[in-house]
Amino acid sequence: MSYERVNYDPTFKPVQGIYENRLRQFINNGGDYKDLNLPKFYDYKRISLDRNHVKVYWYQVPFEKNSSPVSPDKRPPWSEVIGNDKAGKIYWQEASINQPFGPSWSTTWFKVELHIPKDWMLNENDQLVFDWDCSNEGVVIDPNTLNPKTAFSGGDRTEYLLPKADDGKYFFYVETGNNGMFGCGEGSDINPPNDNRYFHLKKADIVLPDWEARALYIDFWMVSDAARELPGDSWQKHQARTICNKVMDIFDPKDRSSVKRCRNLLKNEYFDKYVDSADVYRHGNEDILTDVYGMGNCHIDTAWLWPFAETRRKIVRSWSSQCTLMEEYPEYQFVASQAQQFKWLLEDHPRFFKECLIPKFQQNQFFPIGGSWVENDTNMPGSEALARQFFFGQRFFLKHFGSKSTVFWLPDTFGYSSQVPQLCQLSGIDKFLTQKLSWNNINSFPHSTFNWAGLDGTQLLTHMPPGNTYTADSHFGDVLRTAKQNKTSEYYGSGLMLYGKGDGGGGPTREMLEKMRRIRSMSNRNGNVVPKLEVGKTIEEFYDDILARTDNGKDLPTWSGELYFEFHRGTYTSQANTKRLMRFSEIKIHDLEWIATKTSMLFPDQYIYPAKEINDLWENILLCQFHDVLPGSCIEIVYKHEALPMLQAVIEKCADLIIEALKVLKNNSKSQNIKPIKTLVWSDSDSAFVSSVEESAVKVTEASEYITLSNEKLKVMISKQSGSITSIIDLDTEVEYLDLKNGRNKHGANQFVIFDDKPLSWQAWDTELYSVNQYTYLNKAETVVISENSKDKASVKVIIPVEEGCKIITTISLSATLNSNKDDSFIDIHTHVDNWNARNKFLKVEFPVKVRSDFASYETQFGITRRPTHYNTSWDVAKFEVCSHKFADYSEYNKGVSIFNDSKFGFSTHGNLMRLSILRSPKAPDAHADMGSHDIRYAIYPHAGALSSTTVRLAHEFNYIHRYEVPATIYDSFDQVIKITGDSNVVLSNIKRGEDDVDINSNYAIGQHEKRSMIVRVYESLGGDSSVVLKTSLPIKKVVKVDNLENEIEVVTFTSNSKTSTAEIPINLNAFEVASYKLCV
Ligand SMILES: [Zn+2]
């Protein structure tokens, strides 16, 4: 080489912007130069539907006129349709391009016959493709095995790689559901669906692709992305641009062989030699740490813009595609959550489950993950339900895969209760994944990798993918963002990239896997300006890497308490009926387990605990706690045709099963005398209902402006003008609990307010900060009258007009008190909202109280969460609406006020104002959400001193109102099956039978088998070390403390008192500890 002395050919420095912009031309499938660029060569051959080589026949599955969108006739089993076809019972018609299929939610089947033309002269290695786009969701079914092969949804998922066929002939079915990946929304996906939508057949082609040209497309795409997205000071960026320009220079649209030359150039100058295989991940500099771990997933919302019925089909479409992809890409790994989805798959497609999915699980490519029944909401499920999410999820995984998940997988749920870490750890889970907090609309969550410590201090190793999505497309930019946006890099710099089409299912595509090989190859070749991407490491290995590099997590920052989601605050209130039935279902199944457990322990020869029935009921409750169903963000179909009937049926079935158990008790008594029982026991009070009032009556007096209710403890004044409560006085101390002098509410308590509720977007999900200051008080009552005036109870009925046709009828009652427990006295309110017909309004009810404290307490699962009542920082401001269970309490040192409710979850406390959220009226995605009439019960409980166990007990009793009767002769033995004494802040919340007991024959049994046992769940409710003694009359032989899966933690010593024939089990609990004991007889 020699340097020329004279320059005859001057060269210019390329102008970066122009040379970068030029790159878009090369792979642009539209535009002016498509034929002059690479798209010209993507296919060697292509034949569209021609009735000669490509024949497509269609069959619209008939359904009853007006049958519901979830009716079984809309989605018959595959075996039925194919069986009918084989029997010649189906009339198929020839399909044509642009033909419409529908309507929404119906099913169309296609029969596809392909004859590859002889003149295609295929080589042995030629891979043919069937290219199909009907813009709805479809799945290819092998007519011989009935196993699914791959799925279509238009867009990025249109290709089926045809298996080899020596005779060039193909025949298969395509089942299509007439909905898009995101349902049938009109205008926008999250608008209410159009039930009369049709989907057009756009493409049915056989293709012999030029795989070399298609590979160059991915090569060029990734390197040109590097040219665009790498930092400006890196030589890698400039070289990527230069090489891509060279590729365009040597490409010749008249010469297909130039494609190979282009590829070689990229391989020689920017990729390593392993770019086309999984080997690429085994090369590169081993000393460089991995920046990004790629993990395939497809988030399938168990219901959202489509019903549960359609989800069952999304599962098989999504997962079969992934199993097929795994054949082609050995490095490919995929995680799938939600035991419910596996259960549906097992029911609908057992052969696919066994023959395709299980082998991929065994080959370490398909991983069940999550450990919960569904990806549930964590704010609103009750205590026991949240525990059972893990109980059923993990037991299902153990039963069908032989292992449980150690990662709680919840990428999309709307906030995370502070009780999650403890329940996870009690269920064999010590790791957590989410990313939803990246949607916060006020504060940016500060960590990517951290320890999340819950209510009792239990922690989970937590990772939030720094790319802020669980549906990455594996673009170069996705990998780059995952590497660059990591907020905890000083401790741990690697991050997970969750790739794959999601929300409506789908999952990764071939293209994504190809792109990732290119990205890894670039970093092997060009050093770590291109992030080092790893594919083929499990989620477990990723979390192990965190532990290995952070001194077992000790180096990581800690976040204590709930992971409050600063968004979607309307979901505590939307879809009131579903939330109400959910609370009622949880209580009813608690009662069923309470009565059935006791009955089966007392009369084992006469009564078999209905384990299978109870488990079925739990599955339905847990299903409806999916993170769009219970929060209220689904389309109307889901509530009207699925969730509400399902929960209603749960309540009815529980009632039937309770009657059966009570019958057994009745049969064991000759006496006709009966006695009511409660289904909760307390250490500080009797468990019997008090049926008569021996003490002073309640009084009601009416003056010109007020009606006054009073009992031994409280005097309550109600304005005859506004109907609201203007004074609540403790007659013992003469303390006034309301504050009408200060703050914005000067009207009174039980004061209804209508807020404007027009969020920026996401109507069913969101209520926004500005709504808080746009409100109208409903302070002109139409009627205020005494509606009940008996010795036991006095009530005032108030009627308040809202808008045209809508009224609120609210009844304020005070009951007589026993002298012995007059401190339990509270004001009971029943509100009927008649014909709620608002548009984008939010109805709340306010209680201005004479309390001042920086914090209010809200009941959460097995405990309380304290939240600010001020707006000091933006983090405090963000909590302008929060989630509460059965009570919210606002207390200062000397006194406080608790508000109980029977079915509500939205609450706020600021300044001197407590506010219960009652009804919203979003118009999307359900146009009729919450329209109609509603009943709500709540209560005002003024109390001396700070928040105490009395609030906890009264709020429980306010909800557990069902009365059951047992024969008087059996009452004592029934009562003594389980009792509790000691610290009153410890709650005995649930009893159930041991799942692995021999006599109950549970469908979830897996462990060691006891003859008969009873699980007793207790928890410390207010935050303090406590001691109690459990007492039982059962002849117990052994007591063990168990975890939430009912595995033994330790043996517990107990004493037997032969005189009273009871056993006593002393227990110590840490603050907010949830503990379970198995009492074995
Ligand atoms: Zn989701």
pLDDT digits (tens, 9 = 90+) for 715-740: 999 999 999 999 999 999 999 999 99
CA of 501 to the centre of ligand 1 (A): 12
Region 829-837: mean pLDDT is 98
Q: Which CATH number fits domain 292-560: 3.40.190.80, 3.40.30.10, 3.20.110.10, 3.30.70.60?
A: 3.20.110.10
Dist. CA 814–CA 777, nearest whole Å: 25
- Residue among 784, 957, 757 at smallest CA distance from 839: 757
Q: What confidence tens digit (pLDDT) does each residue in 36-92 have?
A: 999 999 999 999 999 899 999 999 999 999 999 999 999 999 999 999 999 999 999
Any idea what DSSP says for residue 1000?
G
- Residue among 827, 858, 936 at smallest CA distance from 583: 936
Q: What confidence tens digit (pLDDT) does each residue in 770-814 have?
A: 999 999 999 999 999 999 999 999 999 999 999 889 999 999 999
Does residue 1 carry a pLDDT above 80?
no
Confidence of residue 690 (pLDDT cuts 50, 70, 90): low
CA of 629 to the centre of ligand 1 (A): 10
Give the domain 977-1080 fold. Answer: Immunoglobulin-like (2.60.40)
Q: Are 503 and 255 in contact (CB under 8 A)?
A: no
Region 616-623: mean pLDDT is 98
Mean pLDDT is lowest, of 310-314, 438-442, 693-697, for 693-697
Does residue 1060 carry a pLDDT above 90?
no
pLDDT > 90: percent of the chain:
95
Does residue 270 carry a pLDDT above 90?
yes
Does residue 1012 carry a pLDDT above 90?
yes
Backbone angles phi, psi at 612, to 5 degrees: -60, -45
Coil/strand/helix, residue 953:
helix
Does residue 1071 carry a pLDDT above 50?
yes
Region 1015-1044: mean pLDDT is 97
Per-residue confidence (pLDDT) for residue 928, from 0 to 100: 98
Residue 366 gets the label, from left (phi > 0), alpha (psi -120 to 50) or beta, of beta
Per-residue confidence (pLDDT) for residue 108, from 0 to 100: 98
Confidence of residue 693 (pLDDT cuts 50, 70, 90): very low
Dist. CA 241–CA 234, nearest whole Å: 12
Does residue 346 carry a pLDDT above 80?
yes
Work out the burial of residue 84: count CB atoms within 10 Å of its CB; fewer than 13 is exposed, 13-18 middle, 19 or more buried: middle
Any idea what DSSP says for residue 91?
-
CA of 469 to the centre of ligand 1 (A): 11
Give the domain 699-959 fold. Answer: Beta-galactosidase; Chain A, domain 5 (2.70.98)
In the chain, CATH 1.20.1270 sits at 574-665
Confidence of residue 156 (pLDDT cuts 50, 70, 90): confident
Q: What confidence tens digit (pLDDT) does each residue in 866-876 have?
A: 999 999 999 99
Q: What confidence tens digit (pLDDT) does each residue in 133-152 have?
A: 999 999 999 999 999 999 99
Does residue 686 carry a pLDDT above 60?
no
Q: Are 387 and 371 in contact (CB under 8 A)?
A: no
Give the dihedral sign, CA 541/544/549/555.
positive
Query: What count of other Cβ atoms lies within 10 Å of the Cβ of residue 8?
Result: 5
E strands in 481-575: 495-499, 533-535, 558-560
Dist. CA 682–CA 685, nearest whole Å: 6
CA of 375 to the centre of ligand 1 (A): 8
Dist. CA 713–CA 967, nearest whole Å: 35
Does residue 502 carry a pLDDT above 70?
yes
Name the residue with tokens 């090489």: 243
Q: What is the mean pLDDT of the chain?
A: 96
Q: What confidence tens digit (pLDDT) does each residue in 190-246 have?
A: 999 999 999 999 999 999 999 999 999 999 999 999 999 999 999 999 999 999 999
CA of 408 to the centre of ligand 1 (A): 15
Give the domain 42-209 fold. Answer: Jelly Rolls (2.60.120)
- Residue among 337, 56, 94, 90 at smallest CA distance from 171: 56
CA of 411 to the centre of ligand 1 (A): 8
Structure tokens at 76: 């018959």
Per-residue confidence (pLDDT) for residue 684, from 0 to 100: 66
Dist. CA 578–CA 575, nearest whole Å: 6
Structure tokens at 541: 């290995």
CA of 627 to the centre of ligand 1 (A): 6
Per-residue confidence (pLDDT) for residue 160, from 0 to 100: 97
CA of 211 to the centre of ligand 1 (A): 35
Per-residue confidence (pLDDT) for residue 389, from 0 to 100: 98
Region 838-843: mean pLDDT is 97
In the chain, CATH 2.70.98.30 sits at 699-959
pTM here is 0.97
Region 962-971: mean pLDDT is 95
Q: What confidence tens digit (pLDDT) does each residue in 440-454 have?
A: 999 999 999 999 999
Does residue 477 carry a pLDDT above 60?
yes
Any idea what DSSP says for residue 728?
E
CA of 482 to the centre of ligand 1 (A): 21
Give the angle subtended at the CA of 350 by the CAs of 349 and 352, to the nearest 5°.
70
In the chain, CATH 3.20.110.10 sits at 292-560
Does residue 764 carry a pLDDT above 90?
yes
CA of 898 to the centre of ligand 1 (A): 34
CA of 376 to the centre of ligand 1 (A): 9
CA of 628 to the centre of ligand 1 (A): 7
Region 293-307: mean pLDDT is 98
In the chain, CATH 2.60.120 sits at 42-209
Region 898-918: mean pLDDT is 98
- Residue among 523, 514, 527, 421 at smallest CA distance from 475: 514
Q: Are 376 and 571 in contact (CB under 8 A)?
A: no
Query: What count of other Cβ atoms lies within 10 Å of the Cβ of residue 1025?
Result: 11
- Residue among 796, 827, 810, 817 at smallest CA distance from 940: 827
Does residue 878 carry a pLDDT above 70?
yes
Confidence of residue 695 (pLDDT cuts 50, 70, 90): low
Give the domain 574-665 fold. Answer: Substrate Binding Domain Of Dnak; Chain:A; Domain 2 (1.20.1270)
Does residue 388 carry a pLDDT above 80?
yes
CA of 105 to the centre of ligand 1 (A): 20
In the chain, CATH 2.60.40 sits at 977-1080
Dist. CA 131–CA 152, nearest whole Å: 9
Residues recognised as catalytic: 412
Structure tokens at 164: 């080899």
Does residue 537 carry a pLDDT above 90?
yes
